[in-house]
Every structure is written in C-alpha cells, then in structure tokens.
Amino acid sequence: MSHPLTRVLTLLELLQSNARLTGAELADRLDTDVRTVRRYTAHLRDLGIPVEAERGRYGGYRLARGYRMPPLVLSNDEALAVVLGLLAAERLGMGTAAPVSAGTLAKIERVLPHALREPLAAMRETLSFTANAVIGQAPGTGVLLALAQASRARTTVGIHHQSWRREHTERDIDPYGVVFHTGRWYVVGHDHLRNSLRTFRIDRITSVKSRADRFTAPDGFDPVAHLTSTLAQGPYRWQVEVTIHGPLDEIARRLPSSAVTLAAQPTGVLVHARAERLDGMAHMLASLEWPFTIHQPDELRQALKDLAVQLTAAAQRKPEELPQ
C-alpha cells in the first residue's frame, strides 16, 4: 500500500465500514503515522467528503452522520462472496418474486475492473452444483422484509393470506421467526384468528400491515424445530415406526429432519415417520448401512421384499440379456 492515492481510498473504505476509528488505529491499518492520516483526511474533505474529527481521549475520525458514498467499493474477496451468494441463493430457491439475481450480477460486473470481472465471470459460467436446483414459489420482497422486521421488533402484523384451497382470510399474527426450508419461505408465530401456534407459507401471504401491539415470544422457542416437526406430521397415508440399530448422530445426518423424528433407545434409534408411498421408505431404509427392525406397518415388509426382488434381478442380469 505504498501509493498515497491507494491509502486515501483505503482510508475512505475504513471510514465507511466503521462508526469511528482513532488516528492511531487508522495509522496502523494504513501502515503510516498519525500525521499522515490527518493529511489524508484533509484530501477527502477537499473532495467534498465530510470527514469529522473528534478530539480527546475517546475521539477519532468518522464520516458525517447520514452521509453515504454513492459508489460501491468491493475488495476481491468481497466481490467473490457476493457473486457466490447470488448464485447459491438462485440454486437453493431463496430468491424473491422479482427476478433480481441476474440484474444484480450484471450491475456488479459492470462496475468491476477488468482484472476482477473476468475471473468472476469465469466462476459464474463454470460453477457446478452436486444438488439439483430447487424450484419453489418465491415470496414478495416487501412481504418477506416486513415479516422479518416485525419478527425482530416483536410487533404484531396483519396479513392477507390465501390457503392452498384458495380461501382468502385476513388475520393478525405474532411472527416468532422466518424460516427458509427446501425451497420455500415460512413464517412461524401465534395466529390471533385461531388463537394457536401456526405456520404460514410466505408466498401465500399477499400483504402485511404493521400493528401497534407488541408481543413476547415463548422462552426458548425454536422456529426451525417447530417447522420441521410440523412438516414431519403432515397428512400422509402411512405411519412408520422402525428401530435402526446405529448411532443417533450418524443417523440424524442421513435422514431428513422434515420427514422423521428420532429418539435414542438402548437398542438403537427409534424412527417415527409418515409416508405417502412405502416403496420410497423401503429405498431409504435400504440405503442405510445399519440393520433395522420394523415395528409398523407390516406392509413395509412387503415393500422391502419387492425391492429385494428387483435388486436381485438386477444383480443377476447379464449384458447379453439386455433388450435390443
């Protein structure tokens, strides 16, 4: 950082990123002395940038309150983080209703120097993911931000909600938290209309209005745990109970928390799950490396036998037996 102009620009970036820094702190970060820092701040003032200096033991330098620099200044690492974040959000289905990801990437690339623009473009064009892209119904940006703000401020909101049956209702809720799960956004909280704890898909909320009332969330309430538990108890055809004779932590990493509940037992892990089709449950159990014991339903045993017949036939099939 030997060039004076580089130090002046770095000083500006430091002042933008910190509420206040002392002359000694700035000198240390710029690898110079306090006297030179004063000269650099004078350069910034000459350019019309309002740098304020406070004297005294707790004094320092800062930008004037309310002042914002129009240009966006990103380091190489920061630019890479933004690009990767946008690509990952699009892949995971975390976008909002407006198609902003492509436009944001284009804006960032336009203002970057050529030496950084080309490597980031290469990253965007060549990056691959092992998981398939998630396609979910995106919520409105204003709705999502309003619910997040109300959750943080602990204020009640009125929402206009459309159910999966396309029934429209207006109700007040106390939003305990916003959760993103497998391609969809949810808000978990107390529903005043039903006087109960409820979960709403945010893409089905068309408007949010702030209320003057405030609320207190239950102590230790975990929105993520509540959501995954609620989804695991959905209206499925089969209730499955199986003991997997293996370690709890390893099994928990292998099985989706949205589909099962786990309880440690002396002989292994008791798994409760709900399934619409037993063949899918059979495939999941067969993919595990631990033995298991089926408690219910008995129909799951037949599903496993059918899968075993398919696997045996596949193992015995020879290339010359393939249809032409």
Tens-place pLDDT, residues 179-202:
988 778 899 999 999 999 999 999
**Res. 71 pLDDT band, cuts 50 70 90:** low
Please tell me the pTM assigned to this model: 0.55
HSE of 73 in the Cβ direction (CA atoms, 13 Å)? 13
In the predicted model, what is the mean pLDDT of the chain? 83
Minimum mean pLDDT among 31-35, 68-72, 166-170: which range? 68-72
> For residue 159, what are the β-bridge partners?
171, 208
List the helix and strand counts (H, then E) for the chain: 11, 11
Q: Do the strands 205-214 and 196-201 form a parallel or antiparallel pair, or are they unpaired? A: unpaired
Residue 5 carries which side chain, given as an amino acid letter?
L
Reading phi first (left if > 0) and then psi (alpha if -120 to 50, else beta), residue 240 is in beta
**Res. 169 pLDDT band, cuts 50 70 90:** very high
Tens-place pLDDT, residues 6-28:
788 888 888 877 878 888 888 88
In angstroms, the Cα distances linking 316 to 191, 287, 311, 319 are 57, 20, 9, 10
8 A C-beta contact, residue 276 and residue 237: yes
Tens-place pLDDT, residues 222-264:
998 888 777 766 566 788 999 999 999 898 888 876 667 888 8
- Cβ neighbour number for residue 107 with a 10 Å cutoff: 12
* Displacement of CA 62 from its chain's centroid (Å): 33
Mean pLDDT for 159-169 is: 87
Which positions ≥6 away from 188 have C-beta within 8 Å?
175, 176, 177, 178, 179, 197, 198, 199, 223, 226, 227
CA 91, CA 84: separation in Å to the nearest integer? Answer: 10
What pLDDT sits at residue 99?
A: 57
**Res. 1 pLDDT band, cuts 50 70 90:** very low
Residue 248 carries which side chain, given as an amino acid letter?
L
CA 294, CA 242: separation in Å to the nearest integer? Answer: 5
Which positions ≥6 away from 312 have C-beta within 8 Å?
none
In angstroms, the Cα distances linking 19 to 7, 32, 90, 199, 283 are 19, 21, 33, 39, 56
